[in-house]
Amino acid sequence: MGRIFRIKYLLCLMLLITIISCNKEQHEINRISDYSPWSMIYPSAYKMNHLEQSTGARIKLIYDKKGRITERIGGFSLTSGIGGENFKYSDKIKTVVKYDNNTATITTHSLIENYDIHSRLRTLFFEDNRLVKRIEDSAYPYVDDKDITEYYYDTTGKISRTVETKNYKTIESTYHYDGNDNLHQVILINSDSRGEAMMPKETITFSDYDDAKNLTKNLRIFTECFYRSLSRNNFRKYTHEQYDTNGKVVYKHQYTFDLLYDDDNNPIY
């Protein structure tokens, strides 16, 4: 009996180790340790110096023991030159994420002493592990201005609408998905309480999806990764259009993403 018991014990122990190992491997597969900034959508991405793509810049992610992102190394700072404003990549920019119950704060710092990048404090609010509100303070301490974004969900748990308030401006966005749970289009309606002239409507269309798993869902807390995190798969084409009051397209920008994949069809962002 003792020998049989030991055999059963060893078999159960081996099964437990296998389950733990598989769960750990799956957890590692479902999160990434770095990504190319050109695989995401950074604000004013069309202003970036695309010549820098050849440098192989990678944004690095650091996690805590709970699998939450606590640091992001690498980012863009605004520069000025003969051609106007531009965004330049630097690995001396660090973003720090701190968690406290149902909130998280995001701050960005320069690793270069006495170099100010005018970081904005971002505070995120969660309910039932869902992002429901984001508040961004002004980048300048003498300006009392906050951007507030509220997130709304449909019955399936997908984000269906956001309302962003920027001083006098309000942007209401509706999110439309295809039959594969991939984000197809975001329609943005702009309004200004001061009555200033502005483009009343914009659309952002996502297309050319692959059949690979989306490994960026945990990056939703970052504005630059937000759109990519919403789908089941990975879009490889982005089209941004702006319309005048007559519905005519007055601005159009397209961008394609040359994603690579490993031997298991996991995307390399």
* pLDDT tens for each residue of the chain, 269 residues long: 555 545 554 554 454 444 444 444 344 447 899 999 889 987 654 445 444 554 678 999 999 999 999 999 998 876 655 555 566 778 889 999 999 999 999 999 888 776 666 677 899 999 999 999 999 986 555 556 789 999 999 999 999 999 999 888 899 999 999 999 999 999 999 988 775 656 689 999 999 999 999 999 999 999 999 999 999 999 999 999 999 888 899 999 898 999 999 999 999 99
User: Whole-model pTM?
Assistant: 0.81
Say which DSSP state 2 is in. Answer: H
- Residue 266 has a pLDDT of 95
- Residue 142 has a pLDDT of 55
In the chain, the amino acid numbered 217 is K
Q: Which two tokens stand for residue 174?
A: 């509706």
Q: Where in the chain are the domains?
A: 30-268
- Residue 42 has a pLDDT of 75
Q: Report the C-alpha gap between 114 and 104 in whole angstroms.
A: 26
β-bridge mates for residue 96, sequence order? 71, 107
Q: Taking a C-beta distance cutoff of 8 angstroms, is the pair 257, 238 a contact?
A: yes
Say which DSSP state 137 is in. Answer: E
Say which DSSP state 255 is in. Answer: E
Q: Report the C-alpha gap between 169 and 145 in whole angstroms.
A: 12
- Residue 196 has a pLDDT of 62
- Residue 46 has a pLDDT of 44
- Residue 195 has a pLDDT of 59
Chain position carrying tokens 């590692």 = 28
In the chain, the amino acid numbered 113 is E
Cβ neighbours for 58, distance < 8 A, ≥ 6 positions apart: 34, 35, 36, 74
Can you tell me whether residue 85 is helix, strand or coil?
Answer: strand
| CATH dotted code for 30-268 | 2.40.160
Ordered DSSP codes for 87-107: EEEEEEEEEEEEEETTEEEEE
Burial classification of residue 19, based on how many CB atoms lie within 10 Å of its CB (0-12 exposed, 13-18 middle, 19 or more buried) = exposed
Say if strands 59-63 and 34-35 run parallel, antiparallel, or are unpaired.
Answer: antiparallel
- State CA 66 to chain mean position distance: 20
Q: Report the C-alpha gap between 82 and 102 in whole angstroms.
A: 45
